[in-house]
Every structure is written in structure tokens, then in C-alpha cells.
Amino acid sequence: MPSIKEILSKSANRLRKVVRSPIKEVSTLLAHSLQVSDIWLISHDDEIIEIPKDFEKFIKKREASYPLEYILKQTSFYGKEFYTDDRVLIPRPETEILVEKVVSICKNMQNITIVEIGTGSGVISVMLAILLPSAQIIATDISEDALKVAIINAKRYNVQDKIEFVRCNLLDDVSEKIDVLVSNPPYIKKDEKLDKNLSYEPRCALFGGEKGDEILKQIIDEVVQRDIKILACEMGYDQKEKIENYLVNYNLNAEFYKDLAGIDRGFVIKNRNKNATIQPPI
């Protein structure tokens, strides 16, 4: 039987063409399989063990670009660990900026209603419930499976009573007056070629229509029609100009922001112009 060091070395070689940090990943997977810490693996790397059957399955999945987060059933977001499986989009680090934007705007506001469109795994709504304890949170999603995952995460951090989960398209079944709308919606255009690892994530959480910005525009429509004062929304890297042009139809302005890589990532609309029209011109 091989040593832990030999298992890690051989497994890392299998993943070198697939992942950026093969040693780190195989260590994480073996530790997960053995239910031990990474530190334990390092301190016992000469120990002879039988290769766990599930570890071999994990490596085969990673060879096929199956996401690590789905194998581990968890993702780190905003300093916390969240349950994640292939029913939901994997939370991205750049979405933490969206949470920060909402918290910065709302931290001195009391008894407000925040609605998230397309909650997915629920990480945004859960973090807002933790960081803004006086806010009423409503999280919508068209996918029943996604809402099941979101509820798991709400229960994990004991905020299930602070969030109302609603299965619907956009805001169709939300009748409450909304103070703040937040969303990380699907915004990839239908025919865009994706990396292989993205092929495992739910398509409804990725593709925003033929051009990719259709759902973003529908969200802006909702803001005007329902007189929502604040919108914080993530978008695609190449959609700033399209969003700016669409906002002109409504006589609206947005503050656009970039992620840590300097890529256009989202926008915020605050104190909506009272002269905004109800329907954009055709």
C-alpha cells in the first residue's frame, strides 16, 4: 500500500492539466475523504494507508473538471462556509462586493425590506440577515431545488426566521413594499461558450437570454414600476454600456463598480429620480 505522500504526488500528477493548484486540491480531497485536517496529512505523510474508494471517485470527477465545491459540498463566502451542490450556482468571491455595497447603504437604516431576486444557494440573503439584523429579508428564486439549498444555509446560521423564501419569477409573488432590491442574476448570453467546469452548474442560473442582459433589464423595469428606491445588482464584464444605455430610457443614473481584478462587475442605483418614466420607449 502507498504512503500518504505517494498518494498525493500521484494524484496531483493526474490533475496538473486540469487545476491550477493540484497539490492543494488533492490534499483537500484526501483530508475530506479521511475526515482529517490538512495539517494532519502533512504530519503523517509517511503513513501507509489504503486509498479510500471515495477519494478515487473524487479524483476522477476533478479530472473531468467537476467543481471541487460540489465534491466537498461546501463553499467559502464572506468568511463563512456554505452548503453547495449542483442544484445551485457556486458562489463567487466577487459577489462579496455586492453584499458589502448593500450593507454599506443600509447599515444606518431601520426596519427596511430587502428583496433578493434569484437567491440560489442563499448566501447573499443569509449574509444580509446576519449583517443587517433589523432588516426584513425576502429571497426569491424560480427553482424549488435552489430554495431547498438556500434554506439549508439559512438554518446553518440560524437566520431561517429572518428570511422569507418565495418561489417565483423575479418579484411575481412579492406584494410587500420593497426598499432595497439586490440580485446576482443570470447574465451570460445564450450562445456564449463556457469553460468545462461551468457546464456542471445549473443553466438557469447562468444564461440571461439571447443577449445575456434580458433579465438585468427586467429587474430595472421592476425597480421603476414598483418605485423601489435602491437597486444593487451584479452584471457581466461587458455589459456596462448596455446597462447605461437602458437606464437613459428611464432617466436613471447608476454607480458602477469593479471587482478586485479591475473588471466591471455591478452597479447601484440610489435615490431613484422621481421623473423616471414608467415604461422605456420602444
DSSP character string of 60-104: HHHHTT--HHHHHTEEEETTEEEE--TTSPPPPTTHHHHHHHHHH
Which residue in 66, 71, 29 sits closest to 201, CA to CA?
Answer: 66
Q: Which one of 3.40.50.150, 3.40.50.300, 3.40.720.10, 2.40.160.40 gives the CATH number of domain 89-269?
A: 3.40.50.150
**Other CB atoms closer than 10 Å to residue 277's CB: what's the count?**
12
For helices 214-225 and 240-249, give the axis angle rounded to 10 degrees.
30
Q: Which helix (H) or strand (E) holds 167?
A: strand 163-167
Distance CA 163, CA 62 (A): 35
Give yes or no for a contact between 134 and 223, defined as CB atoms under 8 angstroms apart. Answer: no
High-pLDDT (> 70) share of the chain, %? 96
What are the φ and ψ backbone dihedral angles of 154, each rounded to 5 degrees? -65, -40
Does position 275 have pLDDT exceeding 60, yes or no? Answer: no
On average, the pLDDT of the chain sits at 92
Q: Is the pLDDT of residue 168 over 50?
A: yes
In angstroms, the CA 236 to CA 209 distance is 13
Evaluate if residue 265 carries a pLDDT over 70: yes
Q: Exposed, middle or buried: residue 255 (CB in 10 Å: 0-12, 13-18, 19+)?
A: exposed
How many C-beta neighbours within 10 Å does residue 176 have?
A: 12
For residues 268 and 100, the answer to whether their CB atoms sit within 8 Å is no
> Parallel, antiparallel, or unpaired for β 230-234 and 264-269?
antiparallel
83-126 per-position pLDDT tens digit: 999 999 999 999 999 999 999 999 999 999 999 999 999 999 99
Whole-number Å distance between alpha carbons of 268 and 280 = 19
Domain boundaries, the chain: 4-64, 89-269
The band of 209, judged by pLDDT with boundaries at 50, 70 and 90, is confident
Q: What is the DSSP letter of 269?
A: E
The length of the chain, given as a count of residues: 282
| Dist. CA 192–CA 92, nearest whole Å | 19
CA torsion sign for 138, 167, 140, 120 is: positive
pTM recorded for the entire structure: 0.92
pLDDT for 271 equals 64
What is the arithmetic mean of pLDDT over 18-44?
Answer: 93
Question: 150-164 burial by CB neighbour count: b if 16+ within 10 A, else e?
Answer: bbbbbeebebbebbb
pLDDT in tens, 169-208: 999 999 999 999 999 999 888 777 778 778 898 888 888 8
End-to-end CA distance of the chain: give it in Å, rounded. 71
Report yes or no: 201 and 145 within 8 Å, Cβ to Cβ.
no
